[in-house]
Structure 1
Amino acid sequence: MEFVEWQMRPSAVRLFRQKGIDVHELQSDVAVKREDGGLEIDLLVVNETEVVLVELTLLGMNTRGFLVHRVHLN
């Protein structure tokens, strides 16, 4: 999936800002490992009030998709 991440990363800041999400930090290929499991995040978008987790997927030969989970920090 690294190729898809590489293609998405340059446009990610623009795409999120168009949706009203300010981007202070953008990380790719983030892995969290715990004793009870783990989590892999393709793109992690962070600002002062929220975190957006992005899972990039290939849906077919020429079609890409992504799942977004947005968390507000309060």
Structure 2
Amino acid sequence: MLPDTFFIVEAKSREDLDDVRKIKRLAVWCKNVNAAQKEYTYTPVYIKQEDWDKCKQDLKSFADVCKIFEVK
């Protein structure tokens, strides 16, 4: 991970109906801001509680979290 990368982390214990829309919008925002400037990179990360519970024992670093939960 580079020092000029910012991760915008959304953690949810309960998913609401409009969460999918919000996460898609966050991904678009990151893409747009990354295209508009080159100084920093913004990366969305979305962690659902049920997915976290399944793999949290295997995570050793924030890089591991990003590999699994980064919004594509």
TM over 0.5, shorter chain: no
Greater relative CO, 1 or 2 (CA 8 Å, sep 6+): 2
More helix by share: 2
TM-score normalised to structure 2 length: 0.29
Structure with a larger share of its residues in strand: 1
